[in-house]
Structure 1
Amino acid sequence: MPKVADLSLEKRVRIQILHEFRKSQVYISKFVKCSRCAVQTALKRFRETGSQISRPKTGRNRITTARQDRILIRESIKDRKKTSSELAAALSTKTGHPMSARTARRRLVEAGLKGCKAKKKPWLSKKNKQIRLEWARRHQHLTEDDWKNVVLSDESNFQIFGTPGVTFVRRRVGEEFHPDCVVPTVKYGGGSTMVWGCMAADGVGEIFVCEGHMNSEKYINVVENKLLSSLTIIFGDTNLDGVKFQQDNAPCHKSATTMSWFRDNNIDLLDWPPQSPDLNPIEHIWGILKNNVRNRNVSSKKALENVLIHEWNCISAEQCTKLVQTMPQRITAVIKAKGGPTKY
């Protein structure tokens, strides 16, 4: 016979009150709408404990011991990418006691080890981490005002039909292929466009649409035509002494001909650590642009370029200021992570 659920606390209290008013168990069972046995059990519980609150249940004994739980947690931390099934199988082999994947998941959740989608970050070698840490320590004294004189630059690639991630739609049964309920894709993304841009705390500079793969010759052409005019747009006609230009360590940025052009044009470069997009606030500007492009009906390369230029010019100085103001926090995060990846 299946076990019947316990009466609610409210019903047990009613039973006790009616009993104190000298009502019969039959009357109480009909009034509370439960069996007479349930009334009898509730009254007996009160006589024994003086309360109608349920006593704690012992429950079934745990299948795993405390030692097995520690081994499971240790194995999970040793290899964070192992699934609960793999961990359960490994532990069963190691200890000789079978364990299901479900039990393994419960034990890991109890220890605070929840399954989450891994964040994507650039791979950092030991040398990269050391360089990032040393760079952060050298620049940790810079204030928000110091960073206002730094022009941050980068390139990014935009596809006509990009990857929008997971898109949710509301549809009825049988409407899964309705035009309004699908995300259009084309082979190889339908064409892409590489753009260069720069920003500072006072706003964005100019954006440049690049044709084909970027090399040293094309990059020099970009900075020659857009960087100098961007400095005027951002800082006006004031003296540019103390202004520094940031670029990453892409081969076309660090080639001998490129570096010679910067020296000839008296452009003061800010040294930059490798594999460090998390230190560059312009990455967030690219994220804003990509979100805005997804919301526009772009079906050709020319239309994509027009949308990019329009959306770039819509970025406000306030957005740029807020992003640049995070530079001290970004540097602190790199130091805390000992040169490793950060949340930025």
Structure 2
Amino acid sequence: MPRVPAHLCECALGMLQGGMRTADVARAINCNAHTVRRIRQRYRETGRTAERPRSGRPRVTTPAQDRYIRTSHLRDRYRMATTTARVTPGTHNPSISTQTVRNRLREAGLRACTPVVRQVLTRHHRQQRRLRAQTHHRLNRQDWQKVLFTEESQFCFIRGDGRIRVYRQRNECYTEACTRKRDRFGGGGSVMLWGGVSQHHRTKLFVIAGSLNAVRYRENILLPHVIPFLQAHPDMTLQHDNATSHTARSVRDFLQDRNASVLPWPVKSPDLNPIEHVWDLLDRRVRARAIPPRNVWKLAGALMEEWGNISQQELANLVQSVRRRCTAILNAAGMYFN
């Protein structure tokens, strides 16, 4: 049976000293009558209601082995627990179990997690990120209110992002309730969208058909969506990343001919763009619907609807976080930050 908490032991002792019967005290604290008698006997012998220290199960590893397990996995973060268990002898057995290794790592604050996938940052990339972060860090809150953050994002009808977990019992690995059906060859399709957000505004979502090149970006996005927005808000600055379709000479000349101000952006810096979090928020809202979309067309419609349901305050909070992101990049010497 589980142990009786210390405060209930004190309550039980007080009830006994108050003249209550053992059976009544047991019912009051929801335990066995024999447990109440042991609490009273323990108090008579030791003057305390707390249980005596227990030796517990003996550890199969020594403190030196615990340090070895921790150091091995700190040196090689991808080292498997089975490897460590195979080469670590126990105090009573030829080797310890894999679960013992996991327990020791958990005691040291190390847990097995899915690694975050990030782009490769060369020395040049880090330098450019740091220089741009220094420049952007000088901008104040009012300056960031005048930036239109834009980007494209792809939303898959069937997606496995590593966040989904299943709770199952033994031998339930292949049961219907514990498996997910997925086409190996990418069945289900996807939707490519373009959008832009700022402190006080947002653009309409545009569905991109096929791949996006410089011509389609100029004719289908900049001309009908971005240029009218910038003309209606002449103090706004366009932000887009360094994708090939954005940095092509024809696109740069097109924006220059129309006097569109473009914010210089460091290479490989999606962590600086607040619209990345907007896409994640949009995807979560669609997947949290009571009736999920059944095909690509309904997925596009749901994305359009949820785009309008996101409050402007949420977008404003993300826009105002850019300055903190610049500070984080400077603190990380141009590397990615948490």
Query: Structure 1 length normalisation: TM-score?
Result: 0.73
Q: Is the partner of 2:133 in helix, strand or coil?
A: helix
Partners of 1:73 and 1:195 lie apart in 2 by 46
Structure 1: which amino acid aligns with 2:68?
I
Contact 1:46 1:52 in 2 (8 A): no
Contact 1:148 1:202 in 2 (8 A): yes
Aligned length: 306
Kindly tell me: are residues 33 and 303 of structure 1, through their superposed partners in 2, closer, same or farther at Cα, counting changes over 3 Å? Answer: closer
Q: 2:249 aligns with which of 256, 261, 270?
A: 256
Instruction: Name 2:229's counterpart in structure 1.
Output: 230
Matched, 1:266 2:259: yes
Instruction: Name 2:144's counterpart in structure 1.
Output: 147
Q: 1:201 aligns with which of 199, 202, 205?
A: 199
C-alpha deviation, 1:154, in angstroms: 0.4
Partners of 1:301 and 1:53 lie apart in 2 by 63
Partners of 1:194 and 1:342 lie apart in 2 by 27
Kindly tell me: are residues 52 and 185 of structure 1, through their superposed partners in 2, closer, same or farther at Cα, counting changes over 3 Å? Answer: closer
Partners of 2:67 and 2:165 lie apart in 1 by 40
Contact 2:150 2:240 in 1 (8 A): yes
Partners of 1:8 and 1:205 lie apart in 2 by 59
Q: 1:188 aligns with which of 173, 186, 189?
A: 186
Kindly tell me: are residues 69 and 299 of structure 1, through their superposed partners in 2, closer, same or farther at Cα, counting changes over 3 Å? Answer: closer
C-alpha deviation, 1:287, in angstroms: 1.9
Residues 134-184 of structure 1, C-alpha deviation per residue, up to 9 Å, x if partnerless? Answer: 322232222222111111110011234444863879xxxxxx769xx9977
**Rg larger for:** 1
Partners of 2:104 and 2:240 lie apart in 1 by 47
Instruction: Name 2:314's counterpart in structure 1.
Output: 319
Matched, 1:157 2:150: no
C-alpha deviation, 1:89, in angstroms: 2.8
Partners of 1:273 and 1:97 lie apart in 2 by 55
Matched, 1:116 2:109: no
Matched, 1:166 2:158: no
Structure 2: which amino acid aligns with 1:316?
S
Q: 2:323 aligns with which of 328, 331, 337?
A: 328
Of 197-206 and 112-121, more deviation after overlay is shown by 112-121
Q: Which runs of 5+ in 2 are unaligned?
A: 20-31, 168-174
Matched, 1:285 2:284: no
Q: Which runs of 5+ in 1 are unaligned?
A: 22-31, 170-175
Q: Note the aligned Cα RMSD (angstroms).
A: 3.9
Partners of 1:338 and 1:198 lie apart in 2 by 29
Instruction: Name 1:298's counterpart in structure 2.
Output: 293
Residues 103-142 of structure 1, C-alpha deviation per residue, up to 9 Å, x if partnerless? Answer: 2222211111123343444443444333323322232222
Kindly tell me: are residues 57 and 293 of structure 1, through their superposed partners in 2, closer, same or farther at Cα, counting changes over 3 Å? Answer: closer
Contact 1:151 1:246 in 2 (8 A): yes
Structure 1: which amino acid aligns with 2:330?
I
Structure 2: which amino acid aligns with 1:324?
V
